[in-house]
Amino acid sequence: MTTDHGHPAARMYIAGQWCQGATGNTAPVVDPATEEVIGDVPLAAPADLDRALAAAAEGFAAWRATPVTERTRVLHRAADLIAERAPDIGRVMTREQGKPLHESTGEARRTADTLRWHADDARRAYGRIIPSDPGTVLTVRREPIGPVAAFVPWNFPVGGPNRKISSALSAGCSLVIKASEETPATATELVRCYADAGLPAGVLNLVFGEPAEVSAHLISSPVTRLVAFTGSVPVGKLLAARAGQVMKPALMELGGHAPVIVCADADPVTAARSAARAKWANAGQVCTSPSRFLVHESIVDAFTDEFVRAAEAVVVGPGLAEGTTMGPLANERRLAAMERLTADAVSRGAKVRTGGERPDRPGYFFPPTVLTDVPGDAALLSEEPFGPLAPVLPFHGLDEALATANALPYGLAAYGFTGSAATAERLSDELQAGILSLNHCGGSVHEAPSGGVKDSGYGREGGPEALDAYLVTKRVSHLLAP
């Protein structure tokens, strides 16, 4: 089913049925490249959420009892469907979120690989037998925690939901997931792959709605056993507190403000090119996006010149247009934030080397923007930009750079460039981040854990650690009959 604009219709998925919701209330979905309404999203009422929770409770009982070999077979079939449909899913994603088509399609394909990894890793969720007294068998078992309430944002409309879905389902859990109301048809197409793969009804339930109302309802329900959230630090703290009030564990993947330290012995051109590729990906709307560029004073000019050249080579345009390398921002809120942060920095003495102004065209476009001479009190240096803004700051010594990098309450990602093994080890030791890349600005990979420290959250997604939050460790001491 498609809308009048040729865009797939968004639907909720509850108890194995696609639905509009009890009240029929909807909100518009906007194409960020044109600012045109291309569809609508159904908004859940409390009755819809109660149906989803009841379905998740029944679905958990059935899915938990399903042999792991059968669960793996279903999940691999879902991964195959995601991969097959990646070009179509990518087009839906680009219209709703704005990123270039090659990024959208690539995200869908990586999502399929992530699902395969987690499905296979669930077969290695080993327990153990502990040597004990004669006549006693002491074991440790790993069991699914139960129904999960998951909440995800709009910046990775397939990859974000799937990190929660794939981990939960692989571990044997069911879930109710609230995806973003700004990218609902993308989430619909993702969940459709699971449904078409033969996932039993109730195991996976997709809802949309007013965020505060949905989160309060799902978290407070006795059905929910785990809260999994990706999003901003303020919202994450609110949901973690709400979960804590009802003694429910939480997995929190929150925002960051990733520093990049470019040492004196690094190649400034190579570092600038690597950092630029990562900075402009998804228009900077990435939690791990490099966002503070600390460059040794001896090479800062060479780094900045190359960084500016890379920024000016970016082709900004609609994500579906041929040749586009950076699309619009996903919504008007991000556009307003870019204008505010740039104006604040300039008012305090910063210089715009390139970009800095919204183009005169429809859509939420903002160019790659490089700023220098940014004073320490500029909001850009303490507030996560979540957009294509890049402040370049010189430093004199590594102690100074590390102090600046670690000064903020965030600790999600960090990056470093150096030709010295000793310096690389020092960066590894002293940078306060859950994710560190040296001599490149690589993103998350499904075979290794990702997550933050400090205000950037807790728990890990990816790697063998991805299933930890979704499994309960049970100790069993069995005294054998005499």
Q: What is the CATH number of the domain that holds 187?
A: 3.40.605.10
Question: Based on the domain organization, do 180 and 281 belong to the same domain?
Answer: no
pLDDT surpassing 70 at residue 306? yes
Encoded tokens for 392: 């370049």
pLDDT-based confidence at 3, cuts 50/70/90?
A: low
Residue 315 has pLDDT above 90, yes or no: yes
Closest CA to 182 of 155, 140, 205, 154: 154
Asked whether residue 4 is domain-assigned, the answer is no
To the nearest whole number, what is the mean pLDDT of the chain?
A: 97
CA atoms lying within 13 Å on the CB side of residue 349: 6
Pair 125, 199 in one domain? yes
The average pLDDT across 330-352 equals 98
Check if the beta carbon of residue 59 is closer than 8 Å to that of residue 169: no
Whole-number Cα distances in Å, 274 to 143, 403, 444, 461: 42, 23, 15, 24
290 and 375 part of one domain: yes
Classify residue 2: in a domain, yes or no. Answer: no
State residue 417 phi and psi, 5-degree precision.
Answer: -130, 125
Residue 310 covered by a domain: yes
> CB burial class (10 A; 0-12, 13-18, 19+) of residue 26?
middle
* Among candidate residues 338, 336, 370, the one with its CA nearest the CA of residue 352: 370
Whether residue 199 is predicted with pLDDT greater than 90 in this model: the reply is yes
pLDDT band at 5 (very low <50, low <70, confident <90, very high): low
Note down the domain range covering 51. 12-254+456-475
Which residues belong to the active site? 253, 287
Domain match, 56 and 27 both? yes
Asked if residue 243 and residue 153 are part of one domain, the reply reads yes
Question: Over the stretch 90-125, which tens digit does the pLDDT of each residue have?
Answer: 999 999 999 999 999 999 999 999 999 999 999 999
> Same structural domain for residues 234 and 367?
no
The answer as to whether 480 is a domain residue is no
Q: Is residue 451 part of a domain?
A: no
How far apart are alpha carbons 282 and 386 in whole angstroms?
A: 10
Q: Are residues 324 and 248 in the same domain?
A: no
Full-model pTM: 0.96
Cα dihedral: 28, 34, 38, 44 (round 10): -30
pLDDT at 4: 58
Same domain flag for 218 and 354: no
What mean pLDDT do residues 296-318 have? 98
Q: Could you tell me if 60 and 204 lie in one domain?
A: yes
Confidence band for 350, pLDDT divided at 50, 70 and 90? very high
The domain that holds 400 is classified in CATH as 3.40.309.10
Q: What is the structure's pLDDT at 6?
A: 77
Express each pLDDT in 201-211 by its tens digit.
999 999 999 99
Domains of the chain: total: 2
